Amino acid sequence: MQRNWSPTRPFCWNGLQAMIPSRKSYLVVAMATILLGLCSRVFSVVPLFVGDLLYAVLIYFIFRFFFTTQTAVVIAIMSLFFCFAIETLQLVRWNWLLQIRGTAVGRLVLGQDFLFADLIAYTFGVLLAVVFERVVLERSSNGIDKLLK
């Protein structure tokens, strides 16, 4: 069966709606991404941009978890907007925001300093998430759901 992929229609096989991966699948991928992201900060051999890339992947799958019926393009745009907003917010130096960034969680979620390279990493992270969703989750949505039961 030939697959006709369209960015405006989620999971289309020759015009028919295929099974959309469940929220459980998106949650598992998001949790695995958190684990990988934390590991990327622990091991110094991993380049720093990998953490930013994984941050964008995480945001994509969190949005996917909440908005399962939206298209990949809509979720990708939402994810990029969110990641770019967080990065741009790093230019702001309000005292209360600096205090939040002073905590471990605040530093991981909000970051420290604005870097244009982070915007590039976010873009590639969202693209990676879309490809992962199309290649892995879409093809194995039944398999992942069976494993989670």
Over the stretch 29-44, which tens digit does the pLDDT of each residue have? 999 999 999 999 888 8
Q: What pLDDT score was predicted for residue 144?
A: 57
pLDDT on residue 140: 67
- pLDDT reported for residue 72: 92
Alpha-carbon gap, residue 126 to 57, rounded angstroms? 5
pLDDT recorded at residue 20: 66
CA 97 to chain CA centroid, nearest Å: 24
Could you say which residues of the chain have pLDDT below 70? 1-20, 140-149
pLDDT of residue 26: 92
